[in-house]
Structure 1
Amino acid sequence: MTAYAAFKRGCLLLGIALLGGMSAPALAHPHSFIDMQTTLVTKDSALVGLKMVWTMDEITSADLLYDAGKAAPGSEVWKKLAAEVMARVMAQHYFTDVYRDGKPVRYMRLPSEYQLSRSANKAVLEFVIPLAEPAALAGKPLIISTFDPSYFVDMTYKDAQALHLPADAQASCKLSLFTPAPNSSLQAYALSLDKADAPPEDMDLGQQFAQKVTLQCQ
């Protein structure tokens, strides 16, 4: 297996196999859908982390919820599943880029907290990405983007209401959400890919569909 094939496998459902018997529309890219919410974690007028909540679609969630069975929330079963999913997310650098003035903002390799839970027929992964060093809120904007480069997984904020500022930053900071509108040929290409296909590595298909969150503070 090539390095990119291994990467693609890791991206696909965050390492969780899809169930068989999917309907025809579900075979087109993307194969899995994650609804995201993000809350900024701040301290002393600096950004110190990102708290993310990822809600997976029912098909993506099915295997996880089957493995969890009727285990109580917070039980060892849920903790083990959370560790397995989190390891795959970490292996892909949380699928998240943070930039300021064109330069990457580094974060810690390990999350400061994480958990996996159930919400009806969906699995919900919550975790906090701590920055390697605090990033001052004031100054040039911070750009945050979360996406799967292969576009096997669609990772989307429904709207700007899915972005949250802590109370101490609400007066001086603003969050905005940009959702790209890829042209019809690119959309048609993505839809033409089935489960066995992968876009060329240098195409970075997911980035062309990726939303961008901008944090601007006074």
Structure 2
Amino acid sequence: MRSTLIMSPDGMISAIEEEWLFDDLYSLAVIDETSDDSTPKAEAVSNFAAKVIENLGPYGYFMRITADDRPVAISTVTQFKSEMQGPQLLLSFTAPLAEPVDPARHAVKFSVYDPSYFIQMTHRPEAPPTIRSEAQHRCRALVEQPNPSAQDIARAFALDRGAAPQEGLGDLFAEKVRIQCG
């Protein structure tokens, strides 16, 4: 995935742009599942984004954002698209924050993960999270790799395939992006 924090001219984080590049196998499965004689491949790819965004809404778009360890609400995603990038499906969307957050005054962190723990989501080393701003800012995004304990790993492996996710388990395996200003 690729994440870009959007900062307003006054230095507030107002949204996060996400790009999720799915692996070849998942991309092929989605296209095969959604395209048929009545729905051509190009239309299936285009329709993918709307369906996924609708399904992710109740889960906060798989994003957890905090300011001083308190949750930050995400507004409804209205900007999204999907397209093919070679053999891989690319989903892009912008998640606006319900209220802008000042990273200079609050400890801001975010992570992107599937709460059911079945999907690995990581930033590409060559494309770490970035910050886009029209104004001068002295903030940077730092990725902290997950460090689950042996007990957490054992608990995750002990889950049955159809079991309900355990609250907070996916978060233990997710990268955390910390915004550092100053």
TM-score, normalised on structure 1? 0.71
Does the 8 A contact of 2:67 with 2:101 survive in 1? Answer: no
For residues 104-137 of structure 1, the C-alpha deviation after alignment (integer angstroms, 9 at most, x for no partner) is 11120x2131001111221110000011122123
Letter of the structure 1 residue corresponding to residue 7 of structure 2: T
The answer to whether the aligner puts 1:216 opposite 2:168 as a matched pair is no
Which residue in the other structure is 1:206 paired with? Answer: 170
Which residue in the other structure is 1:54 paired with? Answer: 20
For residues 55-109 of structure 1, the C-alpha deviation after alignment (integer angstroms, 9 at most, x for no partner) is 111222113233358644xxx544322211111121311111111112111120x
The answer to whether the aligner puts 1:40 opposite 2:24 as a matched pair is no
Does the 8 A contact of 1:65 with 1:118 survive in 2? Answer: no
Q: In structure 1, how many angstroms separate the alpha carbons of the residues matched to 2:166 and 2:100?
A: 33
Give structure 2 stretches of 5+ with no counterpart.
Answer: none
Q: In structure 2, how many angstroms separate the alpha carbons of the residues matched to 1:166 and 1:85?
A: 25
Letter of the structure 2 residue corresponding to residue 129 of structure 1: A
Which residue in the other structure is 2:53 paired with? Answer: 86
- Cα deviation for residue 160 of structure 1 reads 7.7
Identity %: 29
Q: What is the aligned length?
A: 177
Residue 100 of structure 2, aligned match among 127, 134, 137: 134
Give structure 1 stretches of 5+ with no counterpart.
Answer: 1-35
Letter of the structure 1 residue corresponding to residue 148 of structure 2: P
Give the 3 Å change call, closer, same or farther, for CA 111–134 of structure 1 in structure 2.
same
Letter of the structure 1 residue corresponding to residue 89 of structure 2: A
Which residue in the other structure is 1:120 paired with? Answer: 86
Q: Structure 1 stretch 45-54 or stretch 128-137: which is displaced more?
A: 128-137
Which residue in the other structure is 2:148 paired with? Answer: 182
Give the 3 Å change call, closer, same or farther, for CA 91–199 of structure 1 in structure 2.
closer
SS for the counterpart of 1:133 is strand
Structure (1/2) with the larger helix percentage? 1
For residues 135-186 of structure 1, the C-alpha deviation after alignment (integer angstroms, 9 at most, x for no partner) is 1232122110111122111111233842011154674101111112223454
